[in-house]
Amino acid sequence: MSERAPEQVATTYREAVRAGLREALQREPRAFLMGEDIGRYGGCYAVTKGMLDEFGPERIRDTPLSESGFVGAGIGAAMAGMRPIVEVMTCNFSLLCLDQILNNAATIRHMSGGQFSVPIVIRMATGAGRQLAAQHSHSLEGWYAHIPGIRVLAPATLEDGRGMLWTAMNDPDPVLIFENIMLYNMGGTIDAAAGAVDIDRAVVRRPGRDVSLLTYGGSLWKTLEAAATLKEQGIDAEVIDLRTLRPLDDATIMESVRKTRRAVIVDEGWRSGSISAEIATRIVEQAFWSLDAPITRVCTEEVPIPYPKHLEDAALPSREKIEAAVRKVVGR
């Protein structure tokens, strides 16, 4: 068998997500998109641009501003046999449909004794960094991970941006996908044939021996940058991309921590009650005796995100803060 390097194509995260959506609609006749301004406007972050022309208004369904209404309608359509992919423009608006997500999507399978599954995919943009201020800069993916009955994905790479969608759509249960707004413009190359990806496992994005850096989504890249700098300073950090925030892949986390004996968690959620606390606690529960130092977190400061750039930056995790936290944990 002759081996050829897989063809690589240049793309962006935005285009990768779009490719995943297009593939879903092309391959699965029951799939359709619905959400605010996904059609005629082309998507708030231009993700769905061009798709209305390709698939028509039935399958690229512009909705009114009615988050609870159309997310709930997605739940119903899923139970009726469709495969709805619902876009909640950003997670900032998702509080308006949280009742439908928690009390219906996440719960119906259980309440019905397993008779009805809800195969809905809900996509939302998440994260800060564009000076959108207090009401438009939430990072809620970790918070959503508290809810039993749903899966929570945080694609950080081009491959995941594209490939998680198909896996999610074929999951019989509700899957929430959080796309960090700072990633949409990220460019790179991707295997032209890149397809569905596994959503069950975290991935080591950078192997290392001295400390485990656990992160996901938009923070992955800051963390990898920090790891590169730290390497120059002689600290060999392992970087783990959690990918799925519910359920967490404990095995991969513990394997890393047992090896490095130190952990720093980087998470764009507000510190208190963030998913970083859950990860830290699981490490304590499962790998306490392996730890050589307290676990440390780099999270968002407990303040609604301020508008000015210098204050927004100060509120968010940064490469510098990650480096400082790691140096403290490894004692150098």
Ligand X SMILES: Cc1ncc(C[n+]2csc(CCOP(=O)(O)OP(=O)(O)O)c2C)c(N)n1
103 part of the interface to its own copies, by CB under 8 A? yes
How many residues belong to the site for ligand X (CB under 6 A)? 6
Q: C-alpha 149: how far from its chain's center?
A: 17
Residue 87 within binding range of ligand X, rule CB under 6 A: no
Q: Which is nearer to ligand X, 176 or 203 (CB)?
A: 176
138 is catalytic: no
Choose between 71 and 299: whose C-beta lies nearer to other proteins: 71
Q: Which of other proteins, its own copies, ligand X, none does residue 114 bind (CB under 5 to 8 Å by kind)?
A: other proteins
User: DSSP secondary structure string, 74-123?
Assistant: HHHHHHTT-EEEEEEEEGGGGGGGHHIIIIIITTHHHHTTTS-----EEE
Q: Name the amino acid, one letter, at 316.
A: L
Which of 264, 298, 315, 325 is close enough to bind other proteins by CB under 8 A? Answer: 315
Question: Which amino acid, one-letter code, is at 111?
Answer: M
Q: Which of 7, 54, 200, 302 binds its own copies (CB under 8 A)?
A: 302
Region binding ligand X by CB under 6 A among candidate stretches 53-61, 89-97, 164-172, 290-298: 89-97
Distance CA 231, CA 296 (A): 19
Site membership for other proteins, residue 272 (CB under 8 A): no
The helix, strand and coil proportions of the chain, stated in percent and rounded to the nearest 5, come to 40, 20, 35
Long-range contacts of 226-234 (CB under 8 A, 24+ apart): 226/319, 226/322, 226/323, 226/326, 229/319, 229/323, 230/323, 230/326, 230/327, 233/327, 233/332, 234/332
Active site residue 7: no
Q: What is the binding site for its own copies (CB under 8 A)?
A: 68, 92-93, 95-96, 98-99, 102-103, 106-107, 110-111, 133-135, 138, 142-143, 145-149, 246-248, 269-270, 272-278, 280-281, 284-285, 288-289, 291, 293-297, 302-304, 306
Q: What is the binding site for ligand X (CB under 6 A)?
A: 36, 65, 67, 89, 93, 96
